[in-house]
Amino acid sequence: MKNYLIVFASLCLLTACSIVSKSELQRVQQTQVKQHTTALKKKTTIPSKTQEIKRYQNRKPIKWGVDVPGVVRKLPTNGKVIALTFDACGGKHGSGYDKAIIQYLNKHHIPATLFINSRWIDANPDTFMELSHNPLFEIENHGTEHRPLSVTGRSVYGIQGTKNVSNVYNEINGNAQKIKKLTGKFPKFFRSGTAYYDDIAVHIVNDLNEIPVNFDIIGDAGATFTTKQVEHSMLRAKPGSIIILHMNQPKGDTAEGIQKAIPRLLQEGYHFVKLENYLKTK
């Protein structure tokens, strides 16, 4: 009888323990769900323009260029991977579509990142939607008016930069909102028109939940390179290289150049990846 009582008491204890651990488990799970929801909310909330103006209006930039701290120029890996990035700049002389590039990438299942400007989207609405539905590509932010990103109005190559914090905010967020509206997704990466930034502008890009991304290899120099030059430049790629090319100048030789270089890079054991595969976003 005594033994039965001990067994009964032990069973009760075990059951109680399992009830406690079950409710504890539920509590932990609920906390995790709560934390996840908060993280998601955080991700979609960006500071207002007024908040950013208040934060930065009295700060003077000290750096300017394509290689400013905080701007990613290579993937953080020693693996034999390369990120191809194609800019579509838009504007009067930059709204063409080099279909041969996309056809080649599609045919050979080569993924790529497409940095697209608002003006290019307006000039090529159907193509933009088609590209956004293609899982080989990620659509990223190449600005609203394609301006060098400056809080003091600095220019480069004769292109007027943004003039103040408010302009910088609009240049980033204008196109981000457009892309979100059309595709349902906010862009994760930003490349300014001309790829120039000052250090304050880099902070603002980060505040708006995007990562500024440039390159370590100039693939086509604004689609001005010959086929041979594109090929030679691309063959200089190293593990983790980010190559900048253009998909908005069909008269250029970029399509021909990549068709020479890509098979050789594949032969050397390289794989092509999208930025999102290697760069951590918030």
CB closest to Zn ion, residue no: 89
Q: Are 245 and 87 in contact (CB under 8 A)?
A: yes
H helices of the chain, in order, are 2-44, 49-56, 99-107, 118-123, 125-132, 165-183, 199-207, 227-234, 254-267
If one asks whether residue 199 binds Zn ion (CB under 5 A), the answer comes out as: no
CA distances from 176 to 140, 144, 148, 243 (A): 8, 8, 16, 22
Q: Which is nearer to Zn ion, 52 or 148 (CB)?
A: 148
Q: Which is nearer to Zn ion, 95 or 233 (CB)?
A: 95
Q: How far is the CB of 193 from Zn ion (least distance, A)?
A: 5
Q: Which is nearer to Zn ion, 112 or 265 (CB)?
A: 112
Residues 231 to 250 in contact with Zn ion, rule: CB under 5 A: none
Q: How far is the CB of 162 from Zn ion (least distance, A)?
A: 14
Residues 6+ apart with CB under 8 A from 154: 64, 148, 161, 196, 198
Q: How far is the CB of 69 from Zn ion (least distance, A)?
A: 22
Q: How far is the CB of 104 from Zn ion (least distance, A)?
A: 21
DSSP for residue 15: H
Q: Which is nearer to Zn ion, 173 or 248 (CB)?
A: 248
Residues 6+ apart with CB under 8 A from 199: 61, 62, 63, 64, 68, 69, 70
Residue 83 φ/ψ, nearest 5 degrees: -105, 120
Q: Which is nearer to Zn ion, 87 or 198 (CB)?
A: 87
Residues 6+ apart with CB under 8 A from 90: 117, 118, 119, 120, 121, 122, 123, 142, 146, 248
Q: Which is nearer to Zn ion, 52 or 140 (CB)?
A: 140
Q: Which is nearer to Zn ion, 89 or 179 (CB)?
A: 89
If one asks whether residue 204 binds Zn ion (CB under 5 A), the answer comes out as: no
Q: How far is the CB of 231 from Zn ion (least distance, A)?
A: 22
If one asks whether residue 258 binds Zn ion (CB under 5 A), the answer comes out as: no
Three-state DSSP at 185 gives: coil
Three-state DSSP at 86 gives: strand
Task: Record the tokens describing residue 224, joined without a space.
Answer: 């001005």
Q: How far is the CB of 63 from Zn ion (least distance, A)?
A: 21
If one asks whether residue 140 binds Zn ion (CB under 5 A), the answer comes out as: no
Q: What's the chain's length in residues?
A: 282
Q: How far is the CB of 258 from Zn ion (least distance, A)?
A: 17
Binding residues for Zn ion, total number by CB under 5 A = 2
Q: What is the four-CA torsion angle of 141, 95, 183, 111, rounded to 10 degrees?
A: -70
If one asks whether residue 220 binds Zn ion (CB under 5 A), the answer comes out as: no
Q: How far is the CB of 233 from Zn ion (least distance, A)?
A: 17
Three-state DSSP at 37 gives: helix
CA angle 116, 122, 125 (to 5 degrees): 85
User: x/- string (CB under 5 A) for Zn ion, residues 59-98?
Assistant: ----------------------------x-x---------
Q: Which is nearer to Zn ion, 120 or 270 (CB)?
A: 120
Binding region for Zn ion (CB under 5 A): 87, 89
